[in-house]
Amino acid sequence: MNAIIEQLKQHRSIRRFKPDPIGEEQLLAIVQSAQAASTSSNVQAYSVIAVTDREKKRSLARYAANQAYIEECPVFLVWCADLNRIHYAASLVEESRVPNSTEIFIIATVDTALAAQNAAIAAESLGMGIVYIGGIRDNPADVSRLLELPKYVYPVFGMCVGYPDQDPTSRPRLPVETVLHRERYTSDSFAEGIERYNGELRQYTLTRAGGNRDTTYSKEMANRLRVRKRDHMRAFLREKGFDLE
């Protein structure tokens, strides 16, 4: 193996940060690394908003189910799917409009995720830690107002960035044979692989939660599928110009 692969395999979500600030040079390096990510047809349909103001971070924490580490991290990055900028660029040469297509919505969302993951890897290579915050979609309209997001821009997720003040163990992942398929999709490995993973994740959560949480992957996924989440997103996206067809 090599150092990059070893770094990737050591990823942990960090939720406690030292007060040390992140310098402008480091922030630019992280964002420039994000920009180097693959993008569909060079669209680059994303923007990132770096929030360091404590009051804004406090508001964002409140909008995201009171996750305190949003307020405590030195920099909170809000990753946005952005079709506003490409609309502006196109308008310089001809009258245009953003199509109400599911495909361009997917392009913008995927572009955002690819860029953010590059940023996460860059931050970790600099000795920092990150945690993704999907909770900003709990109140996307409030987040949009706070950050003055225009039409055709929506917040996909946030990311806390800073120097770790904890050393958590890495969460185990599914066995590779349940994820890697060869030539065709097959569920032949699911019974053994998921049963094994249920045991590994149960041991991990018992250790991590000090014995107070007893769960498995199957239990967590059953709970996830039982409850609908963020049904407000469809109406919100329509208001932001993503009226999908």
Burial of residue 63, with CB atoms counted within 10 A of its CB: 0-12 exposed, 13-18 middle, 19 or more buried: buried
pTM strictly above 0.85: yes
* pLDDT for 100 beyond 90: no
Question: What confidence tens digit (pLDDT) does each residue in 72-85 have?
Answer: 999 999 999 999 99
CA 44 remoteness from chain centre: 17
Beta bridge partners of 80: 47, 155
Q: What are the tokens at 29?
A: 């390096």
Give pLDDT, residue 1: 78
* pLDDT for 245 beyond 80: no
Give pLDDT, residue 180: 98
Closest CA to 79 of 130, 13, 136: 136
Give pLDDT, residue 211: 64
Closest CA to 60 of 2, 171, 147, 163: 147
Question: What confidence tens digit (pLDDT) does each residue in 129-171 have?
Answer: 999 999 999 999 999 999 999 999 999 999 999 999 999 999 9
